[in-house]
């Protein structure tokens, strides 16, 4: 009974862990189109049987018009109004192509084919500065590796449908959860009995892994709110982030403890004894859209960096206006230097 009381006490009297959270936008920040979107649309359409010459500039114009129309009629990819994102994108595709070739000439499978094409790395590629950025952030995380904190977390917060996870994974990145991490007693007991498998010690309920490039992924579709609405960041903060220290401590504890040393119940007590201290949390968001990423994050009381790469972006849903007072970086490499200084200063302050 004493151990059970310890668990209950830990649950309701957790140790507060300070944290430094880094989130990035996805398209336009982490990855970009492998080739112009109109060119990819035309190639897939021809594979589906669309005949005749299609002008990329005209298709691009038609696609922009269709995207704008359906984004106004069914915001956030049709969340709560349509059956799913695929139906929303099919409407966009059919109207765009219909304006050029006529609705009766559109193959029935075109929407689905394009939806799946843009669900993979075949349509996108990472920016060259992404992998060096992730390596630098991994080194920053390793400096603060104790379960009791402080803690460095990384995530993706993006206006997108759930396919962004498939894209990121297909591009070789490891991604954490898109929903709150579950604390399953039976699963934990099973892991404690199977520690001979080293990989078993590395995963928390199929979600958390210290090898993750991003610890969490939060999309507008899953959140129900689009940037710049402050609720997309608040929902991530209050529904998912509090469990991250528990998940991290569980991984480190089980990976380093012999089965004979402590019981599963003691491990539960150790892990439930941790939660994020929101009073000592600093969150910085990085993205390439001024209004959605920079202004949105600032209005949600986050720190923010506006990413302004040298190359010209043609993404139709992006706001490329810039305020002279905005804190900008020209690459993720430049952002890394800023983040390292901010993290060190933040943790010095919370310790003092």
The mean pLDDT of 154-179, rounded to a whole number, is 95
Q: Same domain, yes or no, for 83 and 184? A: no
Q: Same domain, yes or no, for 96 and 130? A: no
List the domain range (segments joined by +) for residue 87.
35-120
Instruction: Concatenate the DSSP letters of all residues of 216-259 into one string.
Output: EEEEHHHHT--TTSTHHHHHHHHHTGGGHHHHHHHHHHHHH--T
Question: Is 5 buried (19+), middle (13-18) or exposed (0-12) by CB count in 10 A?
Answer: exposed
Taking the CB of residue 214, how many other CB atoms lie within 10 A of it?
22
Q: Same domain, yes or no, for 206 and 331? A: yes
Q: Same domain, yes or no, for 277 and 336? A: yes
Compute and round to an integer the Cα radius of gyration of the chain. Answer: 23
Strands 124-126 and 31-33: antiparallel
Phi-psi region of 76 (alpha: psi -120 to 50; beta: other; left: phi over 0): left
- At residue 201 the predicted structure's pLDDT band, cuts being 50, 70 and 90, is very low
Which of 311, 308, 249, 302 lies closest to 275, judged by CA? 249
Q: Are 284 and 300 in contact (CB under 8 A)?
A: no
Which of 120, 141, 167 is the last residue in one of the domains?
120
The mean pLDDT of 261-265, rounded to a whole number, is 47
pLDDT digits (tens, 9 = 90+) for 313-340: 555 555 556 677 899 999 999 999 999 9
- 174: CATH: 3.40.50.1000
What is the C-alpha separation between 23 and 12, in angstroms, rounded? 29
pLDDT at residue 325 in the model? 85
Q: What angle do CA 345, 349, 351 make, to 5 degrees?
A: 120
Q: What are the phi and psi torsion angles at 304 (to 5°)?
A: -150, 150
pLDDT digits (tens, 9 = 90+) for 276-297: 777 789 999 999 999 999 999 9
Q: Same domain, yes or no, for 216 and 316? A: yes
What is the C-alpha separation between 158 and 230, in angstroms, rounded? 12
Structural domain total, the chain: 2
Torsion of CA 288, 289, 290, 292, to 10 degrees: -130
Which of 120, 143, 164 is the last residue in one of the domains?
120
Q: Same domain, yes or no, for 341 and 249? A: yes
- 84: CATH: 1.10.150.720
């Amino acid at each position: 009974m004493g151990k059970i009381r310890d668990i209950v006490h830990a649950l309701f009297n957790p140790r507060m862990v300070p944290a430094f959270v880094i989130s990035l936008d996805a398209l336009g920040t982490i990855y970009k189109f492998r080739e112009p979107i109109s060119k990819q649309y035309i190639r897939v359409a021809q594979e589906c049987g669309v005949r005749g010459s299609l002008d990329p500039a005209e298709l691009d114009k038609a696609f922009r018009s269709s995207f704008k129309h359906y984004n106004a009629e069914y915001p956030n990819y049709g969340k709560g109004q349509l059956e799913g994102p695929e139906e929303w994108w099919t409407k966009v595709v059919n109207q765009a192509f219909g304006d050029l070739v006529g609705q009766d000439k559109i193959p029935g499978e075109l929407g689905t084919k394009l939806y799946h094409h843009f669900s993979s790395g075949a349509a996108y590629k990472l920016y060259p500065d992404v992998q060096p950025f992730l390596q630098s952030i991994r080194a920053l995380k390793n400096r603060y590796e104790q379960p009791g904190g402080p803690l460095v977390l990384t995530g993706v917060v993006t206006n997108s449908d759930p396919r962004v996870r498939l894209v990121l994974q297909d591009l070789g990145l490891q991604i954490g959860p898109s929903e709150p991490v579950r604390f399953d007693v039976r699963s934990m007991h099973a892991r404690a009995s199977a520690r001979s498998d080293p990989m078993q010690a590395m995963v928390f309920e199929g979600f958390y892994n210290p090898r993750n490039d991003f610890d969490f992924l939060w999309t507008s579709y899953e959140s129900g709110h689009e940037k710049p609405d402050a609720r997309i960041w608040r929902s991530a903060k209050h529904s998912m982030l509090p469990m991250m220290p528990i998940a991290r401590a569980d991984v480190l504890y089980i990976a380093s403890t012999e089965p004979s040393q402590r019981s599963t119940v003691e491990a539960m007590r150790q892990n439930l004894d941790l939660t994020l201290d929101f009073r000592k949390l600093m969150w910085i968001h990085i993205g390439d859209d001024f209004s959605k990423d920079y202004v949105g994050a600032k209005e949600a009381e986050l720190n923010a960096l506006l990413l302004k790469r040298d190359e010209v972006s043609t993404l139709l849903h992006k706001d490329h206006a810039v305020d002279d007072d905005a804190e900008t970086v020209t690459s993720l490499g430049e952002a890394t230097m800023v983040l390292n200084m901010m993290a060190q200063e933040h943790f010095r302050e919370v310790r003092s």
